[in-house]
Amino acid sequence: MKRMTRVALITSGGDCQGLNAAIRGVGKALYERLDRVEIYGMYDGYRGLIECDYKFMEPKDFSGILTRGGTILGTSRQRYIPGKDIVDEEGRSLLPDMLHTYNRLNLDCLVIMGGNGTQKSAKLLMDAGMNVITLPKTIDNDIYGTDTTFGFQSAVDIATNVIDYLHTTACSHGRIFVVELMGRDAGWLTLSAGIASGADVILIPEIPYDIEKVAEVIRARKRGGHGFSIVACAEGAVSIKDQKLDEEAARRKKESSPYSTVSYAIAAELEKLTGQDTRVTVPGHYQRGGPPCPYDRALATQFGTAAADLIIKQQYGRMVALQNSVITSIPLEEAASRTKFLPVDHPMIQVARDIGISLGD
Q: Catalytic residue numbers? A: 140
Q: Say which residues have a Cβ less than 8 Å from residue 8's Cβ, sequence separation at least 6.
A: 39, 40, 41, 42, 49, 54, 102, 105, 107, 109, 110, 111
Alpha helices, DSSP H, located in 34-107: 46-50, 95-104
Q: x/- string (CB under 6 A) for ligand F6P, residues 220-259?
A: ---------------x------------------------
Among 47, 123, 137, 184, binds ligand F6P (CB under 6 A): 184
Q: Does 115 bind ligand F6P (CB under 6 A)?
A: yes
Q: Which is nearer to ligand F6P, 179 or 217 (CB)?
A: 179
Q: Does 183 bind ligand F6P (CB under 6 A)?
A: yes
Q: Which is nearer to ligand F6P, 21 or 34 (CB)?
A: 21
What is 150-214 written as a DSSP string?
Answer: BTHHHHHHHHHHHHHHHHHHHHHHT-EEEEEE--TT--HHHHHHHHHHT-SEEE-TTS-B-HHHH
For 33, the 3-state DSSP assignment is helix
Among 140, 157, 206, 296, binds ligand F6P (CB under 6 A): 140
Q: Does 139 bind ligand F6P (CB under 6 A)?
A: yes
Q: Does 45 bind ligand F6P (CB under 6 A)?
A: no
Q: Does 71 bind ligand F6P (CB under 6 A)?
A: no
Q: Which is nearer to ligand F6P, 66 or 262 (CB)?
A: 262
| Cβ neighbours of 307 (radius 10 Å) | 28
> Residue 259 Cβ, how far from ligand F6P at the closest point, in Å?
17
Phi, psi of 110 (to 5 degrees): -105, 135
Among 47, 221, 288, 297, binds ligand F6P (CB under 6 A): 288
> Residue 58 Cβ, how far from ligand F6P at the closest point, in Å?
30
Q: Which is nearer to ligand F6P, 263 or 276 (CB)?
A: 263
> Residue 190 Cβ, how far from ligand F6P at the closest point, in Å?
10
Q: Say which residues have a Cβ less than 8 Å from residue 311's Cβ, sequence separation at least 6.
A: 5, 7, 30, 108, 109, 111, 133
Q: Which stretch binds ligand F6P (CB under 6 A): 165-173, 180-188, 242-250, 291-299?
A: 180-188
Q: Does 190 bind ligand F6P (CB under 6 A)?
A: no
Measured distance CA(155)–CA(307) in Å, rounded? 24
For 319, the 3-state DSSP assignment is strand
Q: x/- string (CB under 6 A) for ligand F6P, residues 73-102?
A: ------------------------------
Among 17, 20, 134, 138, binds ligand F6P (CB under 6 A): 138
> Residue 36 Cβ, how far from ligand F6P at the closest point, in Å?
37
Q: Which stretch binds ligand F6P (CB under 6 A): 23-31, 136-144, 271-279, 346-354?
A: 136-144
Pair 235, 182: CB distance under 8 Å: yes
Measured distance CA(229)–CA(281) in Å, rounded? 13
In angstroms, how far is the first alpha carbon of the chain from the final one?
66
Measured distance CA(231)–CA(263) in Å, rounded? 9
Q: Which is nearer to ligand F6P, 108 or 180 (CB)?
A: 180
> Residue 16 Cβ, how far from ligand F6P at the closest point, in Å?
7
Q: Between β-strands 37-42 and 5-11, what pairing exists: parallel, antiparallel or unpaired?
A: parallel
Helix (H) or strand (E) holding 269: helix 262-274
Phi, psi of 132 (to 5 degrees): -135, 140
Kindly list the strands in the beta sheet with 201-203, ordered across the sheet, starting from the edge strand earlier in the chain: 201-203, 229-234, 176-181, 278-281
Q: Does 47 bind ligand F6P (CB under 6 A)?
A: no
Pair 157, 297: CB distance under 8 Å: no
Is the Cα torsion angle 118, 119, 124, 129 positive or negative in sign?
positive
Q: Which is nearer to ligand F6P, 115 or 360 (CB)?
A: 115
Q: Does 182 bind ligand F6P (CB under 6 A)?
A: yes
Q: Which is nearer to ligand F6P, 14 or 360 (CB)?
A: 14
For binding to ligand F6P (CB under 6 A), which residues are involved? 14, 115, 138-140, 182-184, 235, 288
